[in-house]
Amino acid sequence: MTALKTPAPLDGRTAQARRLKRRRRLGRAGLNTVGVLVFLFAVFPVYWMVSTALKTNDQIFTTDFIPIPTEITFDHVDRILTEGVAGNSIWVYMRNSTIVALGTVLIGAVLALLAATAISRFRFRGRTSFLVLLLIVQMIPAEALLIPLFLNVKRLGLYDQLLGLIVINVGLTLPFGIWMLRTFVAAVPKSLEEAAWIDGASRFTTFWKVLFPLVAPGLVATSIFSFITAWNELIFALILMSDSSGYTMPVALQFFFGQRGTDWGAIMAGSTMMTIPVVVFFLLVQRRMVSGLVAGAVKG
């Protein structure tokens, strides 16, 4: 009979490699768990908003915890769409919010890109002071600027006009946009622009076909921030508008808070409708975030 062969002891390096592999798996599992928890924590308010909009009043005002509606109703959505808010159709407020948000994005993106390019590509007196001033302005609460901005809007004749809200929102989002785009412009090698100049391209052509495609991802990120800020802005839209037909969606939702109670079903239905354009805007622009990374850098 042949003797049974005993397995050879594991090599020290093999055992260490297995331990490292096991640690990596545990670390990856821990990170995935944390990611899932953060995702659930972020998504739960949105789910609760949508589910509340589809619940009946009995389910909304009950003391029992009802995570999933036992009875789905569209009465709150139908009431908002048919009855409107404060004597106006809900689409009036949606239109106003869309005009203010898109106007803020377009004007703010152009000004932020030009300012960021000037700061990154040129050296001038007061450049550092200007950057510090942008930080100081960004740290000031918007409520502290309410009175001076209100007086300036009145002097310019923009009171009770959507253009006044656009100007205010551009001023609130411009410092952040300049700081963000400044890093993107500084990351683009200047040799690419110099190569375009050698090939006979003008400064405008170089800016449009070389620099702009490379900073497009930063421009998209800045646009998303500006859109969300202008879309959710409440204080200035409430103060600078005296006519209810000029109110935006955040102001319109305030009419559902009353002395006799709060219409949570209508608030959640209106909030759900208000969230949809933001999601659509992000889906439209996020596809272009990666396409601008290498476009324009290859000489054709």
Asked if 148 and 262 sit in the same domain, the reply is yes
Asked if 102 and 48 sit in the same domain, the reply is no
Q: Output the pLDDT for position 165.
A: 93
Asked if 128 and 23 sit in the same domain, the reply is no
Backbone angles phi, psi at 288, to 5 degrees: -95, 0
**Domain contains 212:** yes
Whether residue 191 is predicted with pLDDT greater than 70 in this model: the reply is yes
Total-model pTM: 0.81
Task: Assign 56 to helix, strand or coil.
Answer: coil
Asked if 260 and 121 sit in the same domain, the reply is yes
255-265: pLDDT as tens digits = 888 767 788 88
Distance, C-alpha 239 to centroid of its chain: 24
Query: In which domain, by residue range, is 124 found?
Result: 86-291
103-162: pLDDT as tens digits = 999 999 999 999 899 888 888 787 788 888 888 888 888 888 888 889 999 998 889 899
Asked if 155 and 55 sit in the same domain, the reply is no
Asked if 182 and 257 sit in the same domain, the reply is yes
Q: Output the pLDDT for position 296.
A: 40
Domain harbouring 262, CATH code: 1.10.3720.10
Asked if 33 and 138 sit in the same domain, the reply is no
Q: Which stretch of DSSP H or E encloses residue 277?
A: helix 264-285
**Domain contains 246:** yes
Instruction: Look at the chain and report how many structural domains it folds into.
Output: 2
CA dihedral 96, 97, 102, 107 (to 10 degrees): 80
Asked if 37 and 171 sit in the same domain, the reply is no
Backbone angles phi, psi at 186, to 5 degrees: -65, -25
The neighbouring-strand residues paired with 262 are 257
Q: How many helices (H) and strands (E) does the chain have?
A: 14, 0
CA distance 111 to 127: 17
CA distance 43 to 66: 17
Q: Output the pLDDT for position 93.
A: 92
Task: Assign 119 to helix, strand or coil.
Answer: helix
Asked if 28 and 137 sit in the same domain, the reply is no
**Domain contains 157:** yes
Asked if 23 and 152 sit in the same domain, the reply is no
